[in-house]
Chains A and B, each alone.
Chain A
Amino acid sequence: MTTVQPAPAKPDEDVSSITEAITRSRWAPFRSLIITVLNLTVFFTIWQLIALAEVINPLFFPKATAMFSAIYTGFADGIIGPELWHSVQNFTIGLIIASVIGIPLGLLMGGVRIVDLILSPYVWAMAALPRVALIPLLILILGFGNSMQLTIIVLSAVFPMMVNCMEGVKTVDPSLIRAGRVFGANGPQMYFKVILPFTLPFVISGINQGIARGLVGMLIGELLGGGGEGLGFLLDRAGDQFDAPMLYGTLLILAVLSVGLVQGMRWVERRAAPWRDQSRV
């Protein structure tokens, strides 16, 4: 117990000796992909079989193949394409506007107490209010046009972004702040070198939630706003025309779209803040 070993490892050997090659099956990288493909194949096959058996009225439950051919002809005949483009365009613009407003304002609310005090009752009220409730008012003010659809996307996405950014700034580790002060960070340095990097994962999860809510906003705007454009309109029309394959096809497109967005953002989140996974011991 009395002798003390010179603990600091000589890094050169140490680093190389603690990492060793792992041999894995050639198929390992593709495993999850293969499982997913098999999974989906089984799913659509069962769907097809149930539809063929006509256990459920085909009016409500079309064959999977009918759905896929509706998607195919929809794109080929230029029915889906423009509506998809309209929705994507609206959604992108709405999300950009929401980010430009929501992120700085949220960061400001987290950092400046007076801004927080003034804005927070409205932010919380708006964040909690179901967005659909605003549709009649927005139609009254903005009419049935594109601006109404855009507004509802912005209003849906902006509040989760604000709330997340605000919470992020408020939860900055106090000992990191103290370290910042000890090592001479002034106001802006503290903000840019300590608070903002700490908040980044919160900003990203705010954007994530903004995307999810924004998609809902986009759809209710198109479904209830009567603008006559977008994927929501496609859904609405297919429903009116008892066009079940088209209805299911549009839903599938929406599902693919949202899963893609959510997975994409997860990827960004992991890249932007790798320390979030491991650092909390």
Chain B
Amino acid sequence: MTQAVPSITDPALLGDGGTLTGRKPLIEIRNVSAGYENKRAKTRLIALRDVTLEVYPGEFLAIVGPSGCGKTTLINMIAGFMKPLEGTITVRGEKVDGPSADRAMVFQDYAVLPWRTVYNNVKFALENRRPRPNKDELATRIAKVLAMVGLSGFEQSYPYELSGGMRQRVGIARALVSDPEILLMDEPFGAVDAMTREAMQAEFEKIIAETGQTVFFITHSIDEAVALADRVVVVSSRPGHIKEIVDIDLPRSRFAEGVKSNPRFGELREHIWGLLQAEALGAKIGGAGV
């Protein structure tokens, strides 16, 4: 268990971006630039330029932007897969230096191990780091998290026997089972069909209300960002930088109350769409995708 910060489940913090200021951020991204070197051309593609962003405990933060805007680069740096060229990323004041138990990740392509059953895929998140929970605790925790994502009864199924949406449920269960402080999600519902996607968003909102993780959520769907997040960070592309941070002042729980018919939802959606549309036109003129 990694709960060093007791405040992350504080209900007063959830769902209200306005009261977060003045609190100590959980993730601090300070003047971060990132890029990829092209060794042959001896050039460097700048993916992100001078990004500064704070993520507060218990917050659901969505990053939305066109493809190639460096969203994935940002999440990879927070996960600890790559380092920024400039600037620093800290989690609870400590500089990010590789992956760690307080940050779990859900991948767009699920990244479940195809040779393991659902049960053993979830177990994977608990069996590598020390101390390892004992067998009974392992079983209880896995059963609990599988029930949470609606996979009870599928323990012994293999991923290839499951649909895309169910595979991603395995991915979410695996990320939640170790009870990490931060959940990094890289377009988690991007590869599932539209109907499943909406159902999974609704379920996910419920799950997160229960578990209280801080969520760093990447998406290219404005609807998804507005429906789920407390704040939406709009990122423009080439090189990616933050265009605007939009507070989503919609009440929870949103899916239960039919958030998409709320006029405020439409306004927020329009606003973000406006920000990105200028961007999309610019990108078209700018040419080639990465």
Please report A residues at the B interface, Cβ cutoff 8 Å: 1-12, 14-15, 173, 175-176, 178-179, 181-186, 189, 193-194, 197-198, 200, 273-275, 277-279, 281
Contact = CB atoms under 8 A, between A and B. Distances in A.
Interface in B98-138: 98-99, 101, 103-105, 107, 109, 111-115, 124-125, 128-129
Interface string B257-283: 011110000000000000000000000
Contact of B81 (A178, A200, A273): A178
Interface in B155-179: 158-161, 164-165, 169, 174, 178
Contacts of B199: 4-7
B202 A4 contact: yes
Q: Which of A175, A181, A182, A275 has the most CB of B within 10 A?
A: A182
B249 interface: no
A179 B105 contact: yes
A193 B121 CA distance: 11
Interface string B79-96: 111000000000000000
Given A3-B258, A4-B255, A275-B158, A179 B107 contact: yes
Contacts of A8: 149-151, 169, 203
B193 to A, nearest CB: 12
Given A179-B105, A183-B125, A273 B115 contact: yes
A181 B150 CA distance: 26
A178 B153 contact: no
B196 interface: yes
Contact of B128 (A3, A4, A9, A183): A183
Nearest to A185: B128
Interface of B: 79-81, 98-99, 101, 103-105, 107, 109, 111-115, 124-125, 128-129, 149-154, 158-161, 164-165, 169, 174, 178, 196, 198-200, 202-203, 255-256, 258-261
Contact of A1 (B99, B169, B260): B260
Contacts of B104: 182-183
A274 B158 contact: yes
Contact of B124 (A4, A183, A275): A183
A181 B258 contact: no
Given A182-B99, A182-B103, A275-B160, A2 B260 contact: yes
Contacts of A197: 113, 115
A278 B160 contact: yes
B192 to A, nearest CB: 11
Contact of B153 (A4, A15, A194, A277): A15
